[in-house]
Amino acid sequence: MASSVACSILRKTLRFQFCSTLNSSRRVAICCSSLASSFQSASLVRRKQTQSMSNPPFSIYPRFASFKVGDDENLMNVLQSEIECVKEPKDPGQEIIVPKEFPFEIIDSHGDQTITLKREYNNESIQVTVYMNLDIERDDRQDENVDHQEGSEVQPNISLHITVDKGQGFILEFGCKLNSNELEIESMASRSDHFDTQGAYQGPVFSDLDENLQKALHKYLEVRGIKSSSLHSFLYEYMINKDEREYLKWLKNLKEFLLR
């Protein structure tokens, strides 16, 4: 009876064993016939089997380790190739010429995808956050009415978030789109800088305003130095250069991480 129970326990244990060679299977069968005479022998076989499962053949580990090293080396090679292909961008402080009529101080922080323009005008503090829309979403009206020549360059729009602050707790905000032809005001709002104005009435949709009022607000921004003729060409070149600088820095940071 003891021999029968021991053999039953042994068979259940062997179901979880890794696949082995034919010679190994024969050795296990011999152990079964010689050790299954008592519960003590069956326990010994179980312990032996558990050790075999917890310590699989050493040859498994180098194979997986070599795959990991190979993948890392491939990534490093591709990364280095990309770094070498990216043209070293200009230093904006030296080679990008700021127009004489450009009235803003430029704040450019490394790692940011935007730049900030600041100036004082009379008693107003004006701040412009500049975003480059590098994905280039064409205006539907342009697609319908303009026959773009094949190979012609389509410059992306530049998005501007403008605030005008007189330091009296009331701020004007404009959301604009700048292209080579015009400055388009997409939205306008007024808010307090001291209180949470969520849900507060901030004015109508800009396109719903009286046409004369829209023109007057365009003039309001132009007087403060925000107009297509003086901003677009310079900002376009500057933001393209910044994107290249940030991309190259990102690649180098990734390489440094892999080398650690």
What pLDDT is stored for residue 157 in this prediction? 85
Contact 189, 171 (CB under 8 A): no
What pLDDT is stored for residue 154 in this prediction? 61
What pLDDT is stored for residue 99 in this prediction? 86
Res. 216: pLDDT tops 80: yes
Q: Which H, E and C letters describe 52-90, residue by residue?
A: HHHCCCCCHHHHHHHHHHHHHHHHHHHHHHHHHHCCCCC
Query: Of all helices (H) and strands (E), which one includes residue 189?
Result: strand 183-192
What pLDDT is stored for residue 82 in this prediction? 92
Q: Which residue has the higher pLDDT, 217 or 88?
A: 217
Nearest to 78 by CA among 260, 258, 242, 243: 258
pLDDT confidence of 21, banded at 50, 70, 90? very low
CATH tag for 105-242 (out of 3.40.50.300, 3.10.280.10, 3.40.50.720, 3.90.850.10): 3.10.280.10
Query: Looking at 13-151, which runs of residues are DSSP E strands?
Result: 105-107, 115-121, 124-132
Nearest to 232 by CA among 171, 166, 161, 181: 181
What pLDDT is stored for residue 44 in this prediction? 47
pLDDT cut 70: percent of the chain above it: 59
Domain parsing of the chain, residue ranges: 2-54, 105-242
Instruction: Pick the most confident of 24-33, 107-116, 131-140, 189-198.
Output: 107-116
User: What is d(CA 97, CA 123) in angstroms, rounded to the nearest whole number?
Assistant: 29
Res. 3: pLDDT tops 60: no
Res. 67: pLDDT tops 50: no
Res. 53: pLDDT tops 80: no
Res. 178: pLDDT tops 50: yes
What pLDDT is stored for residue 100 in this prediction? 83
Mean residue pLDDT across the chain: 74
pLDDT (tens digit, 9 = 90+) per residue, 123-167?
999 999 999 775 554 444 445 454 545 545 666 789 999 999 998
What pLDDT is stored for residue 159 in this prediction? 95
Q: Span 98-113, mean pLDDT?
A: 91
Q: Which residue has the higher pLDDT, 174 or 92?
A: 174
User: What is d(CA 170, CA 152) in angstroms, rounded to the nearest whole number?
Assistant: 44
Q: Which residue has the higher pLDDT, 86 or 220?
A: 220
Q: Span 244-256, mean pLDDT?
A: 92
